[in-house]
Amino acid sequence: MNCELAHERIVTAAYGELSDEHLHELERHMTGCPDCHCERDQLLALKILADAHPVMEPPANLVARSRLRLEEALDALPPKRWYERLTQRMMNNVASLQAAPVAACLLLVVGAGAGILGSFLYSQSHAARAAAQPAAIARADAQPSAEIGNISSIVREPNSQMVEVRYNQVVPSQVEGSLDDPKIRELLMVASENSASAGVRNDSIDLLAAACRGGHGCQGTGIRDALMVALRYDRNAGVRLKALDGLQPYVTSDIGVRDVVLEALMNDNDPQIRTEAINILEPVEADTTVQQVLHTVANSDQNSHIRTASREVLSRVPEIQ
């Protein structure tokens, strides 16, 4: 069994849907593969974290922003040629088809047909979406930020709450106001999703975090949501770190913020962010969910500094019964 197939079966096993035969194979593989064993422990800890809280519907604006970011990411990907997709499909299936040669041949034929059909459908869908985009932009005139193309720069006056935000419409425009100005807040949240400029995202998240720390109306349905989205999805570690800093005051009172910080501790690839997440979680170190995640990190994380920091926090609270 290779690691790619093991990762698929780890997910199935976590939800009790893996057969006994495949479960035994998976256990044997993990005995000699510490990476897959760590993957299984992290998934189980995440499942415990998810089960500890009731399922809540995400805010509509968060869903809309996430869909927009997903569409931008998909549009930015270069389309794969049909033979590349076919090769990838064959590589993914060959491990599970080794014991059934006849079925393997049949499924490979079906996979080739599905790849060609999928390519045709994708090209049609992409063309339809490109044709519909101008109409969608025209319908968005009634929305507050529909006329904003992107944010070009953000400048804060020294020793002042005044901020200058320059943004592009048909022609470049700018507006000035304080952090309490709804228009400034709206522009900063738009800038936090600027996929073209890490510098603009960094400046906007820095100001949004400052607004949260300074008590400038950092509600969960506005600025705080933008910071959580940045911490989860931004590719720039500096932006994520500033978002984490802005969320710090709310880790004790907002379960949603606490969950995002726990996700960063478990999954972020930057050790500085993970260490800062441990420090931020100290006020809620007695929380059962926090302790469970810290135990998982302390026992199985590959970074020795992260393991040590988690153990130090756990040493100050009673052991989970």
Q: What is the pLDDT of residue 143?
A: 42
Q: What is the pLDDT of residue 140?
A: 38
Q: What is the pLDDT of residue 52?
A: 66
Q: What is the pLDDT of residue 188?
A: 81
Query: Given CA atoms 247, 248, 249, 255 in this order, what sign does their dihedral have?
Result: positive
Asked if residue 201 is part of any domain, the answer here is yes
- The neighbouring-strand residues paired with 150 are 168
Does residue 87 surpass a pLDDT of 60?
yes
Q: What is the pLDDT of residue 217?
A: 61
Q: What is the pLDDT of residue 132?
A: 44
Asked if residue 86 is part of any domain, the answer here is no
Both 217 and 288 in one domain: the answer is no
Asked if residue 34 is part of any domain, the answer here is no
- Give the full edge-to-edge strand order of the sheet including 162-168: 150-156, 162-168, 172-178
Asked if residue 99 is part of any domain, the answer here is no
pLDDT band at 60, cuts 50/70/90? Answer: low
Note the pLDDT tens digit of each residue in 222-276.
Answer: 778 888 888 888 888 888 898 898 888 888 888 888 888 998 888 888 999 999 9
Both 221 and 279 in one domain: the answer is no
Does residue 84 surpass a pLDDT of 60?
yes
Query: To the nearest whole number, what is the mean pLDDT of the chain?
Result: 74
Both 211 and 171 in one domain: the answer is yes
Separation CA 294–CA 289 (nearest Å): 9
Phi and psi at residue 100, in whole multiples of 5°? Answer: -135, 80
Does residue 138 surpass a pLDDT of 70?
no
Does residue 55 surpass a pLDDT of 80?
no
Asked if residue 155 is part of any domain, the answer here is yes
Both 269 and 234 in one domain: the answer is no
Q: What is the pLDDT of residue 115?
A: 57
Range of the domain at 179: 147-250
Q: What tokens appear for 258 in the block?
A: 């606490």
Residue of higher predicted confidence among 187 and 110: 187
Asked if residue 291 is part of any domain, the answer here is yes
Does residue 86 surpass a pLDDT of 80?
no
Separation CA 123–CA 239 (nearest Å): 34
Asked if residue 315 is part of any domain, the answer here is yes
Q: What is the pLDDT of residue 318?
A: 61
Asked if residue 72 is part of any domain, the answer here is no
The whole model's pTM is what? 0.49
Residue of higher predicted confidence among 18 and 51: 18
- Count of structural domains within the chain: 2
Lowest-confidence segment of 3-7, 215-219, 231-235, 245-249 by average pLDDT:
215-219
Q: Mean of the pLDDT values across residues 107-124?
A: 57
Long-range CB contacts (< 8 A, 24+ apart) of 141-146? Answer: 144/186, 145/186, 145/187, 145/190
Q: What is the pLDDT of residue 90?
A: 67
Note the pLDDT tens digit of each residue in 141-164.
Answer: 434 444 566 787 888 888 888 888
Phi and psi at residue 53, in whole multiples of 5°? Answer: -130, 145
Both 151 and 246 in one domain: the answer is yes
Both 224 and 278 in one domain: the answer is no
Can you tell me which residue has the tokens 């929380």?
A: 287
